[in-house]
Chains A and B, each alone.
Chain A
Amino acid sequence: MNDEIILTPEQVRARSRRNWVIALSIVAFVVLVFFVTMARMSANMHAAHPVAGVAP
């Protein structure tokens, strides 16, 4: 007996669209973490070494 699941063309298209959305979401999350890390590092460096003459 063959238990292989055969998807209809409509189901294949729907799965493909879902996969694209998941992939784009992961890329967006990676980009977000990158920019947040840069922003936090920048803020922390500024706090550790404030510009001379400027109140922290």
Chain B
Amino acid sequence: MVDVGYTHARPATASDYFALLKPRVMSLVVFTALVGYVCAPGANDPVLGFASILSIAIAAGASGALNMWFDADIDAVMTRTRTRPIPAGRVDREEALMLGLILSGLSVLTMLLAAGTLAAALLAFTIFFYAVVYTMWLKRSTPQNIVIGGLAGALPPAIAWAAKTGSLSIEPLILVAIIFMWTPPHFWALSLWQKNDYAAAKVPMLPVISGAKTTRAHIFAYSLLLAPLGVAPVLTHLGGMIYAAVSIVGGAAFIFLATRVLRSQAGEGGVADKPARELFGFSILYLFALFAALLVDHGLGR
């Protein structure tokens, strides 16, 4: 007789498997994809639109599960991630791998059925880029990991655009560029006060390799590029008056907070990290506000 009660802290529930899908990351992906879909030209088809965005959400979740499968050793070391289902002992690594592979296949298949080849191919590429290029290669090998890897998180609005129109144009690519340029200052702000964790896990984040001062300068430089890029949708008439106001005010506030980080000792620990925490929090609000403004502009029948 075998007692299997020893393997897990407690029996895995459905919520543990749901946690493998990184629901918080998924929520931002769903939101940016929704905006990409609504802003794309043509009539909104509720069924095909729902299926397309659900496919993107499931693909993001699958990528998260594959990431947790591969990075279980890192997650077990870092304070922020050690309560995740695998390091906490509630879910086996192989289960996360299987869940990730199955959901990857189903999401691409559903997208193919609902929206055609281009959107499905972009979705498959995004999963591959996040799980293989970022997780397996870049994350452990270069301080530019999140710069290049950020492409995976930036693509959802373009995938949703392609799902609705069957093609791509400059407008969705600008949205991709905004999220791509937003990712480095967002994650570097986080890594400034988590650099000891990253160092312990041997992840070569920028503050670990080049120091806090260089990271603060990089955050500032990317913020200077991001703020004007954030206004670019106004030039292509994707964004209207509300978007223009939000992107100009938000961009100015982003640069202001990045300047405070630049002039601070953020990354040295304790209260010195406060400007980095403020920029991190604001960066989420900024991206949400930009896409919400697009949604409002288009919802108001521009």
Name A's B-contacting residues (CB within 8 A): 2-8, 10-11, 13-15, 17-18, 21, 29, 32-33, 35-40, 43
Which residue of chain A has its CB nearest to the CB of B114?
A: A36
CB-CB < 8 A to A11: which residues of B? Answer: 4-5, 11
Determine the interface band of chain B, counting residues with CB < 8 A from chain A.
Answer: 20 to 34
Task: List 27 A–B pairs whose Cβ atoms lie within 8 Å, in order of A's numbering.
Answer: A4-B1, A4-B2, A5-B1, A5-B4, A6-B3, A7-B4, A10-B10, A10-B11, A11-B4, A11-B5, A14-B12, A14-B13, A17-B13, A18-B13, A21-B14, A32-B110, A33-B113, A36-B48, A36-B51, A36-B110, A36-B113, A37-B113, A39-B47, A39-B48, A39-B114, A40-B113, A40-B114
Give Cα A23–Cα B113 distance, bound, in whole angstroms: 22
Chain A interface, DSSP helix/strand/loop, else mixed: helix
Q: Is the CB of B54 within 8 A of A32?
A: yes
Q: Is the CB of B106 within 8 A of A29?
A: yes
A3 partner, pick from B2, B11, B48, B54, beta carbons under 8 A: B2
- Once A10-B10, A11-B11, A36-B113 are accepted as A-B contacts, the answer to whether A5 and B51 lie under 8 Å apart by CB is no
CB-CB < 8 A to A21: which residues of B? Answer: 14, 17
- Once A5-B4, A11-B5 are accepted as A-B contacts, the answer to whether A17 and B14 lie under 8 Å apart by CB is yes
Q: Is the CB of B14 within 8 A of A18?
A: yes
Which residue of chain B has its CB nearest to the CB of A10?
A: B11
Q: Is the CB of A3 within 8 A of B113?
A: no
B11 partner, pick from A15, A32, A38, A40, beta carbons under 8 A: A15
Give Cα A44–Cα B4 distance, bound, in whole angstroms: 54
Q: Is the CB of A36 within 8 A of B1?
A: no
Give Cα A35–Cα B46 distance, bound, in whole angstroms: 11
Which residue of chain A has its CB nearest to the CB of B52?
A: A36
Taken residue by residue from 86 to 127, chain B's Cβ proximity to chain A (1 for < 8 Å, 0 otherwise) reads as: 000000000000000000001000100110000000000000
CB-CB < 8 A to A15: which residues of B? Answer: 11
Q: Is the CB of A14 within 8 A of B11?
A: yes
Taken residue by residue from 1 to 24, chain B's Cβ proximity to chain A (1 for < 8 Å, 0 otherwise) reads as: 111110000111110010000000
CB-CB < 8 A to A32: which residues of B? Answer: 51, 54, 110
